[in-house]
């Protein structure tokens, strides 16, 4: 038997989604900072990048193989 390790694609996809959303938040923050100093072209560019990252994260979510349900920890 071989020792080939097959990655859990859903877990990998979820990690990529989380990274995209985190980076989108950073882009939005940068956009706000740039707006504060009235550097509007760059602010708009960063806001557009954030939007694209969120769209790609949403697109990637469609390809998860298994729906992840929240665990109910109520007594």
C-alpha 47/C-alpha 40 separation (Å) is 10
**In the predicted model, what is the mean pLDDT of the chain?**
86
Report residue 40 CA to chain centroid gap: 24
pLDDT of 2 reads 59
**Separation between Cα atoms, residue 50 and residue 24, nearest integer Å:** 4
Q: In which element (H, E) is residue 22 found?
A: helix 9-36
Q: Is the pLDDT of residue 1 over 70?
A: no
**Has residue 44 got a pLDDT over 70?**
yes
Whole-number Å distance between alpha carbons of 54 and 49: 9
Token code pair at residue 9: 């694609």
């Amino acid at each position: 038997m071989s020792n080939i390790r097959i990655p859990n694609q859903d877990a990998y996809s979820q990690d990529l989604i989380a990274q995209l959303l985190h980076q989108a938040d950073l882009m939005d923050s940068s956009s706000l900072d740039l707006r504060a100093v009235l550097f509007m072209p760059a602010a708009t560019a960063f806001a557009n990048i954030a939007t694209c990252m969120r769209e790609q994260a949403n697109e990637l979510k469609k390809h998860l193989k298994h729906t992840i349900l929240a665990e109910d920890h109520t007594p």
